[in-house]
Each structure stands twice: as C-alpha cells, then as structure tokens.
Amino acid sequence: MWKLAGSWLSVYLTVNLLLAADPAPNDLPPETVLATVDDDKITEADFQLFCVIRNLPRAEQAPLRDKLLEQLIERQLIRHALSKRKIAADKEDVAGHVRRIEDLIRQRKEDPEVVLKKLGLSQETLASELALPLAWDAFVRQSVNDKQISEHFSQHKAELDGTKLRAAQIILLLPKGAAKKDVEDRTARLTAIRQDIVSKKIPFAEVAKKFSEAPSKANGGDVGWFPYRGKMPAPFCDAAFALKPGEISEPIVSPFGVHLIQVTDRQPGELTLDDVRVEILGRLSNELWDKTAAAERMKSKIDLAPRQ
C-alpha cells in the first residue's frame, strides 16, 4: 500500500503531485458515482485524487481504470473493517497533515482551495485519503507482534538475509501479448525437456546451448549470481529460491517467457532479523491488508455504476 501520510517527505511529495496534476477537463463530473460499497459512494473526485497521488495523468488512466477502481473499492472495504474495530486515525494528526499540505501549497504562491477545486477535490476527500494509512498503521501495530516477525524471518530467511544464488536457465521466449496456447506449447516443450534432463539423457548445459533463446545459452544457460529481488524476474526468483543446488524447477512463466531453472550454487546472506525488521513488517502488513479486505468483501454489498 502506498504510504501517503507516513512522513514529512510524503506530505511534500503529495503537494508536488497536487500542483503538477493535469487540470484538463475530464469527461465525468467530479460528483459522478462510480461504485458504492454498502452505502458509501466512490466518486470521480475520489478516483482522480487516487490517480494524482500515484502521479498518473489522465491520458494514461483509461486502460487502468477498472484496476484502479477495484483498488478504490478495496480501500473502502478496509475503511469499513477498521471502523467496525473502532480503529481510526487521530483527528488532530490528520488535520495537522492537511494544514502542512495547505501551508506548503501557499509557500508555492498557490491557493490550496483553488488547487483542490481545479481537481474536483475538497479538504474532506484529502483528509479521508490521509487518514486511511494512519489508521491502518495503528491496526498493524495492534495485530503484528514480535513472534510473527521472527517466525516470518525464519520461514523466509534466504529471501531476506541477502542470500544470492547462481543458476542456469533454458528459456523459450514469449511474444508480447502471448496467447494462452503460446504459453501452453512452450510449457509442454520444456516439460518434456526437463524429463530428459532429470532422467540423465542429456546434461542441462547442453540442452541450454541447443534450445535456450537467451544470450546465456552460450554459457550453458548460466545467468550468474543474483539476489532474491532486483536482477531476475520475480517468478524466476521465487522458483529458484525454493530449490536446492542441483535441483531443476518445473517450467516457470515470467513476462519474458517460459523458463527451466537449475540452481548451481548458493551464497548465504549475512543480514539479521533486526536489519530487515521494517521489510518484514511491510510484508505482514500487506498480507493482513489482503486478508482483511477479502473477509470484509464477503460481508459487503458492492455495486458498480454503468460505464459512462
């Protein structure tokens, strides 16, 4: 979840985005209702504020509109869940953040009311957006304890402690916008290849040199060393970090193609629980968010307005 009100830096960033937001007229009036969650309305003004905070100009909103609206619905579900638990952001804390935003806007020689109005927003909608992450953080502090943090570190240590792997791959590339059949064909082909490798009919490196469609084929598929995140695609890393040296994955689909992965070496990391506590708390917060939203959805009435 994007932490809007977590620091002075985020308040400063919000001001920059508000001032830089596209003031061009929108097809829909700000008061247009896009969806209701029980009795609460989600309007075009809410949608535009959500986009402003994410620095998403109107020209780029159309293809993402359904996804963004779903995120807004999820946020409203979270508000309901927090309200039922009587968890709310401190009103004075929220008001203080609003005042800081207004003061920063005035320092830029702009009128806060005019800036918000041109975007179809109000002080109330801005305050509501600021309040949600503050209330959520309070809920996380109540819900996540040191034992859960420690257990998560133990269960996911290689992902968190800086461990690096070395691996080789065989990849069959997928065209952009590949059809389901393209994925299925390549998966079936790599499944057969994997069986030949596992049964020792042919070495992994030899197959990579012959069939892989990446530059690494010249080195028998060797992609070198990589951490859990940052160098290789996330699905690739998720699969690789579940393997022991010498093991070969099932076919794995990434945005680039379908992969077979063989881990060839592992270099343990040195980061401790204290080093990654904040990252773990973020992970557990995201898991709790998904679980809470899903539970609240089952008890809520959600209506989408007809597309205009």
Query: Strand (E) positions, the chain?
Result: 33-37, 40-43, 164-173, 222-226, 252-253, 257-267, 302-304
Average pLDDT over residues 117-123: 73
Answer yes or no: is pLDDT of 25 > 80: no
| pLDDT above 80: residue 153 | yes
For position 16, what pLDDT does the model report?
59
Looking at residues 20-39, what average pLDDT do you find? 79
**Residues contacting 166, CB < 8 A, separation 6+:** 222, 223, 224, 225, 226, 263, 264, 265, 266, 267
Band of pLDDT at residue 7, cut at 50, 70 and 90: very low
Amino acid at 181: K
Question: For the sheet containing 40-43, what is the strand order?
Answer: 40-43, 33-37, 302-304
The answer, yes or no, to whether residue 111 has pLDDT greater than 60, is yes
Q: What share of the chain is helix, strand, coil (3-state, %, to 5)?
A: 55, 15, 30
Which has more confidence, 120 or 264? 264
194: number of CA atoms within 13 Å, CB side?
20
Q: Is the pLDDT of residue 234 over 50?
A: yes
- Is 2 a residue whose pLDDT tops 70? no
Res 24 pLDDT > 80: no
pLDDT band at 82 (very low <50, low <70, confident <90, very high): very high
pTM, two decimal places? 0.79
Q: Enumerate the β-bridge partners of residue 222.
A: 168
- What's the mean pLDDT in 200-213? 96
Q: What is the pLDDT of residue 198?
A: 95
* pLDDT given at position 4: 38
Higher pLDDT, 281 or 30: 281
Task: Assess whether pLDDT exceeds 50 at residue 9.
Answer: no
- Write down the pLDDT at residue 6: 45
Percent of the chain at pLDDT > 70 equals: 90
* Domains of the chain, CATH where assigned: 8-149+283-304 (1.10.4030), 164-267 (3.10.50.40)
Range of weakest confidence among 98-112, 159-173, 266-280: 98-112
The pLDDT assigned to 5 comes to: 38
Contact at 8 Å (CB) between 266 and 225? no
Average pLDDT of the chain, as a whole number: 89
Confidence of residue 21 (pLDDT cuts 50, 70, 90): low
The 10s digit of each residue's pLDDT in 163-190 is 999 999 999 999 988 999 999 999 999 9
Average pLDDT over residues 126-154: 93
